Chain A
């Protein structure tokens, strides 16, 4: 997998969530994603950016255009230096939250994307990566 371009956005406050959304929107518009897939990617990005802020106390989003021969895609990574996640299975459950949201962020983002990975070095930081692929035209 080749990374064709990448950019980073700091997530320090609520306004930064909107900045991440618009950066992601700009990048996915470059690929030929359907409107439904564009919406899914932007929504997943919004969920994970909010997680970084709410649970990780801030962090960074990395937006990459990736190329794998017959397909291209967008890979989004969200990293924070928060407390980490002690129980992945619980965190992935719909409706489970330690914050004030609905507990749909992680599980929802996984459903909206093609690939999902999470690593947490409890007690210091969490990294979530999501990817959506598009057949090369």
Chain B
């Protein structure tokens, strides 16, 4: 039985706090579970807190990147928060860039960023409607 990371639904966003050792199978299970929940709840944003993680290797980096890419395809934004400075240095030296994934220092900043990303999209939609009406 694979240990699973809980995913909390708060309004239009999903909140994930990775507090266990991010084993390979746990990481892959999270990717699947998140994708399911995004679709089930029509979530527009995912906040992933990695402040308890003590390292991110290339495998974990790839999984986190894939989560962001997959959720983007499902019309959902991902923000990664709480990365330890030592991990940021190590990831850069290792060569992981996490392109396409938004980051914020704290969960609070992350929620603000998600709100901004989500409202930008809504504005675009309403703008589109106006054009359609004309």
Contact = CB atoms under 8 A, between A and B. Distances in A.
A22 B22 CA distance: 12
Contact of B62 (A43, A102, A108): A102
A15 B86 CA distance: 24
A112 B94 contact: yes
Contacts of B21: 18, 21-22
A92 B25 CA distance: 27
A43 B90 contact: yes
Interface residues of A, number: 26
B23 A15 contact: yes
A39 B90 contact: yes
Interface residues of B, number: 22
Interface in A38-58: 38-40, 42-43, 46-47, 50
B67 to A, nearest CB: 15
Nearest to B62: A102
B55 interface: yes
A132 to B, nearest CB: 12
22 contacts: A17-B23, A35-B84, A35-B86, A39-B86, A40-B86, A40-B93, A42-B55, A43-B55, A43-B57, A46-B55, A50-B57, A50-B59, A101-B58, A101-B59, A101-B62, A102-B96, A104-B58, A107-B95, A108-B58, A108-B95, A111-B93, A111-B94
Interface of B: 21, 23-25, 54-59, 61-62, 84-87, 89-90, 93-96
